[in-house]
């Protein structure tokens, strides 16, 4: 848990791996996933690296695998690939692939042969139908070409027969006609059954053609043309008898071939089974192997060439584990890890669990924390759902959301939820704990607002007594009939019996000034919460200053920032509470306006019509404003001047002294003024660019001071959105659901069903999803902008350890 508050300590380390055991060491480390490897030869192009041969062999195997792949199913659980294994895998896989290739080639050729025979059979059959008809009937044939041919001529001519792709028929026919000037008769018939196209593998209804021609010259030409059109030409026996004979012979051949084909198919299935069994594990192994070699490619050799050196970012906590892994991986125990000092900023590592990861990713989406900077995520676990709930306060809606998230949480291990491919769904699923808390907090704020689907609930009896009021002012029936609205006066004893125990009194939902009351309450609440939230952000900055050994910033930055915020806006919060406590219902008529007072405070005036809240108010306010204004120049000039002094003094005496002394202490990392880090960490050579520091500080000051005003206003979105949500749900109730309560008869019951359906759908679609998303976005903005810019730099980068994680292999 400790690491959630700031990122873990990460050090640069060198791994010394003996060449013999480097492979197994990296394999061990990959299984544990602890280290991020740094590329030590970034200038070397990928194909000039050391282990390129091995990588290529892995690719070769992958190629073989993808060739074999086709019918593989099932999960992946690859063992650690040992190096001698690879040779075996390669050998076996190649053997299998070879076998597979051979069998499938046999299979294909058999099928091709069978197709050929069948096509030939069809050609002969169709041809026979065509040529024998005129013989028997003695009539003229009407082929597709449209020329009537005397039947006798048919006996004198020769034939070319074959099949052609249906798309090419027209072009083929036209070309034949043009090229041979009509000395031929061509007829085209579709084949009765579709067959496979040997090129594309699609099933096509081929077209059979039979061309009869006169003369050898033309015959040659026709053959040439049919060649060009990729036709399958079959020998067409001239005489009727030989044709019949050919057909019977073909029948026999086809049958024989079918038997052989069946056998081959059976054998093929066997081989495929064998492949399907071993392929998944092999694939994982080879992929792991390739990853290991890619990592080894990033290592460099030491002078003696006996040992590989890898540079890694390693969490200090895991150093022992790394040692352990290296000991297991190496044969003779000669691999070891050594920390090396560095001036680079290490990557950020924040370990999360399934609960915190959703919140951490919200923070990371804004920017990954700089190394060892205060991490806002643990605070967001509470503040984020709470701020969301302020805008989404409704018991009913919150409950629905809570139950939805609860369902996801309870069934989080179910693979169906986990392996959804829908990106939006996965997003919801990743944030299930966030949604759970958002729902829970919404229920809480819903009770405070006393709203459940926009209706108030009376858990406790209302603190207002209508009966007392009626008795007191003795309303007659006539008075009641003429006055649609009545006033309950809290100043009458017994009408208002003290505050409601929890939240808003349900009687307010009946009042006509309901909105006025709630607006005033919610507006003040937003300002109070906003200022507390921002103040907390400024306080978090303290931990950064202390951690990075920049105590001067406590005085020169934190203090003026805090004074500025509290003197102006903290005072506003004080006024709000003071007025709430000081003025009771009886004095409400004379209660002064805080707004006017606050404006007067800046103008250094006092308004006679606006009574002072407390004696001595004007001098106090004057002091506060002066304090706040005085803190601005401190904030603006403090840090730059301090650093200028610090740097100026030792430089004249002994350059490098600062760098030396700072090197001993923890390496400072300051994001607000990047120049500062360089100034401290660097030796004499790195000089401090005063102008730059000053610029940054000026920007920061302006941003902070203006930000305090604008961010306070920005928190008013809490009020606006909660108002919008309440109003929208009320509209939905009055415009939709109330229509279902028209009559108390059975008809009313029937009407209620569709009305409730509409109400339910609209509630989920508009109030839960749409409103929920908008409230989420606003909560996100309040965290990213208003809260985090008080202390968070977010200029780091993540530690991505080298690991054989299962999800990266799919």
**In the complex, which residues of this chain contact other proteins (CB under 8 A)?**
45-48, 52, 56, 63, 66-67, 168, 171, 174-175, 178-179, 221, 224-225, 227-229
Is residue 456 within 8 A of residue 467, CB to CB? The reply is no
Assess contact for 351 and 42: CB atoms under 8 A.
no
CB of 517 to other proteins, least distance (A): 55
Measure the CA–CA gap between 545 and 558, rounded to whole angstroms.
9
CB of 207 to other proteins, least distance (A): 15
Least distance CB 95 / other proteins (angstroms) = 15
Q: How far is the CB of 55 from other proteins (least distance, A)?
A: 9
Residue among 297 and 450 whose Cβ is closer to other proteins: 297
DSSP state of 807: G
> CA torsion sign, 779 to 781 to 787 to 792?
positive
Nearer of residues 224 and 418 to other proteins, judged by Cβ: 224
The least distance separating other proteins from the CB of residue 175, rounded to whole angstroms, comes to 6
And the tokens for 168? 């090419």
| Phi and psi at residue 581, to the nearest 5° | -80, -40
Residue 177 vs 475, nearer CB to other proteins: 177
Q: Which two tokens stand for residue 19?
A: 């060449």
> From the CB of 266, what's the least distance to other proteins, in Å?
26
Count of other CB atoms within 10 angstroms of residue 62: 17
Nearer to other proteins, 49 or 317 (CB): 49
| Closer residue to other proteins, CB minimum distance, 231 or 737 | 231
The neighbouring-strand residues paired with 558 are none
Reduced to 3 states, what is the DSSP secondary structure of residue 332? coil
Closer residue to other proteins in complex, CB, 10/218? 218
C-alpha distance from residue 368 to each of 232, 504, 532 (Å): 66, 41, 25
**CA–CA distances in Å: residue 331 to residues 80, 285, 328, 386, 599:** 16, 21, 8, 56, 78
What backbone phi and psi angles, to 5 degrees, belong to 540? -60, -30
Which C-beta is closer to other proteins: that of 44 or that of 723? Answer: 44
Backbone angles phi, psi at 311, to 5 degrees: -105, 130
Report, in Å, the least distance between residue 304 CB and other proteins. Answer: 27
Cβ closest to other proteins, residue 184 vs residue 527? 184
Structure tokens at 45: 């192009």
Residues pairing with 38 in the sheet: 311
Integer CA distances (angstroms), 152 to 44, 143, 149, 552, in order: 82, 15, 8, 117
Which residues does 125 contact at the CB level (< 8 Å), separation at least 6? Answer: 247
Q: Is 80 helix (H, G, I), strand (E, B) or coil?
A: coil
Token code pair at residue 157: 């001519």
| Contact assessment for residue 677 and residue 730, using Cβ atoms and an 8 Å cutoff | no
CA distance 379 to 359: 9
**How far is CA 257 from each of CA 115, 793, 806, rounded to the nearest angstrom?**
10, 76, 47
Residue with Cβ nearer other proteins (48 or 471): 48
Minimum CB separation of residue 328 from other proteins in Å reads 33
Residue from 608, 751, 9 nearest 346 by CA: 9
Residue 52 or 618: the one with the smaller Cβ distance to other proteins is: 52
Q: Which residue, 175 or 695, is less far from other proteins as judged by CB? A: 175
Collect all residues with Cβ–Cβ distance below 8 Å to 641 and sequence separation of at least 6. Answer: none
Q: Is the Cβ–Cβ distance between 344 and 13 less than 8 Å?
A: no
**The two three-digit tokens of residue 694, written as one number:** 């000053």
| Minimum separation from the CB atom of position 58 to other proteins (A) | 12
Min separation Cβ 100 and other proteins, Å:
12
Compute the Cα dihedral for 62, 65, 70, 75 and give only its sign: negative
Q: Which is nearer to other proteins, 71 or 171 (by Cβ)? A: 171
Residue 290 tokens read as 């390739």
Closest approach of other proteins to the CB of residue 46, in Å:
6
> Smallest gap, in angstroms, from Cβ of residue 104 to other proteins?
13
- Give the span between the Cα atoms of 110 and 361, in whole angstroms: 58
CB of 219 to other proteins, least distance (A): 13
Angle at 759 between CA 754 and CA 764, to 5 degrees: 130
Q: What share of the chain is helix, strand, coil (3-state, %, to 5)?
A: 65, 10, 30
Smaller CB separation from other proteins, 293 or 787:
293
- Smallest separation, CB 171 to other proteins (Å): 5
Choice between 49 and 113, CB closer to other proteins: 49
């Amino acid at each position: 848990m400790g690491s959630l508050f700031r990122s873990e300590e990460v050090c640069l380390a060198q791994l010394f791996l003996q060449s013999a055991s480097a492979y197994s060491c990296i394999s061990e480390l990959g299984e544990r996933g602890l280290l991020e490897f740094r590329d030590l030869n970034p200038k070397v192009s990928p194909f000039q690296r050391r282990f390129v041969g091995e990588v290529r062999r892995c690719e070769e195997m992958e190629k073989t695998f993808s060739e074999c792949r086709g019918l593989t199913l099932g999960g992946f659980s690859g063992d650690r690939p040992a190096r001698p294994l690879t040779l075996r895998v390669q050998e076996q896989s190649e053997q299998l692939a070879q076998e597979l290739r051979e069998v499938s080639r046999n299979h294909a050729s058999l099928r091709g042969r069978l197709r050929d025979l069948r096509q030939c059979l069809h050609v002969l059959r169709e041809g026979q139908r065509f040529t024998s008809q005129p013989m028997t009937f003695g009539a003229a044939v009407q082929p597709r070409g449209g020329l009537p041919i005397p039947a006798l001529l048919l006996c004198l001519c020769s034939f070319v027969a074959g099949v052609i792709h249906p798309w090419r028929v027209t072009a083929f026919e036209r070309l034949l006609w043009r090229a041979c000037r009509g000395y031929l008769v061509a007829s085209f018939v579709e084949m009765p059954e579709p067959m496979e196209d040997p090129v594309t593998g699609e099933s096509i209804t081929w077209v059979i053609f039979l061309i009869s021609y006169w003369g050898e010259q033309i015959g040659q030409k026709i053959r040439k043309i049919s060649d060009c059109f990729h036709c399958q030409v079959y020998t067409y026996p001239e005489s009727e008898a030989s044709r019949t004979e050919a057909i019977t012979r073909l029948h026999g051949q086809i049958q024989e071939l079918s038997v052989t084909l069946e056998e081959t198919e059976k054998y093929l299935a066997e081989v495929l089974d064998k492949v399907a069994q071993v392929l998944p594990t092999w694939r994982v192994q080879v992929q792991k192997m390739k990853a290991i070699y890619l990592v080894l490619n990033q290592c460099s050799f030491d002078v003696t060439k006996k040992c590989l050196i890898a540079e890694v970012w390693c969490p200090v906590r895991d150093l022992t584990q790394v040692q352990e892994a290296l000991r297991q991986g190496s044969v003779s125990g000669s691999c070891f890890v050594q920390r090396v000092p560095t001036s680079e900023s290490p990557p950020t590592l924040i370990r999360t669990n399934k609960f915190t990861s959703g919140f951490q990713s919200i923070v990371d989406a804004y920017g990954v924390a700089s190394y060892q900077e205060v991490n806002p995520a643990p605070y967001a676990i509470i503040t984020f759902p709470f701020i969301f709930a302020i805008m989404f306060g409704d018991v009913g809606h919150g409950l629905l959301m809570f139950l939805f998230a609860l369902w996801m949480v309870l069934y989080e291990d179910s693979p169906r939820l986990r392996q959804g491919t829908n990106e939006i769904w996965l997003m919801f699923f990743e944030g299930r704990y966030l949604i759970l808390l958002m729902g829970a907090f919404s229920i809480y704020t819903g009770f405070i607002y006393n709203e459940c689907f926009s209706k108030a609930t009376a858990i406790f009896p209302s603190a207002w007594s209508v009966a007392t009021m009626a008795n007191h002012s003795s309303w007659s029936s006539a008075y009641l009939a003429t006055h649609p609205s009545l006033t309950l006066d809290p100043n009458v004893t017994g009408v208002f019996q003290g505050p409601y125990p929890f939240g808003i009194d349900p009687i307010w939902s009946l009042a006509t000034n309901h909105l006025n009351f709630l607006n005033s309450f919610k507006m003040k609440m937003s300002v109070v919460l906003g200022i507390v939230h921002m103040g907390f952000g400024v306080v978090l900055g303290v931990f950064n200053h202390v951690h990075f050994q920049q105590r001067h910033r406590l005085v020169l930055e934190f203090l003026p920032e805090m004074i500025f915020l509290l003197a102006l806006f903290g005072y506003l919060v004080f006024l709000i509470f003071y007025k709430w406590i000081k003025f009771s219902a009886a004095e409400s008529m004379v209660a002064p306006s805080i707004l006017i007072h606050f404006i007067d405070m800046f103008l250094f005036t006092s308004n006679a019509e606006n009574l002072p809240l407390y004696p001595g108010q004007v001098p106090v306010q004057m002091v506060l404003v002066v304090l706040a204004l005085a803190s601005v120049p401190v904030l603006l000039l403090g840090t730059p001047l301090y650093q200028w002094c610090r740097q100026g003094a030792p430089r004249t005496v002994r350059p490098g002294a600062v760098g030396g002394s700072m090197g001993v202490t923890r390496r400072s990392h300051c994001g607000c003024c990047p120049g500062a880090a360089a100034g401290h960490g660097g030796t004499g050579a790195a000089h401090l660019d005063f102008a730059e520091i000053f610029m940054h500080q000026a920007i920061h000051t302006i941003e902070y001071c203006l930000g305090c005003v604008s961010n306070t206003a920005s928190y008013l979105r809490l009020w606006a959105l909660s108002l919008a949500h309440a109003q929208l749900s009320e509209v939905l109730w009055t415009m939709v659901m109330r229509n279902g309560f028209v009559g108390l008869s059975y008809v009313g019951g029937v009407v209620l069903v569709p009305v409730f359906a509409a109400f339910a759908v609209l509630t989920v679609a508009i109030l839960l999803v749409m409103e929920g998303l908008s409230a989420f976005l606003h909560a996100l903005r309040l965290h990213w902008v208003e809260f985090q810019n008080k202390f968070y730099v977010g200029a780091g980068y993540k530690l991505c350890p080298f690991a054989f994680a299962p999800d990266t292999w799919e």
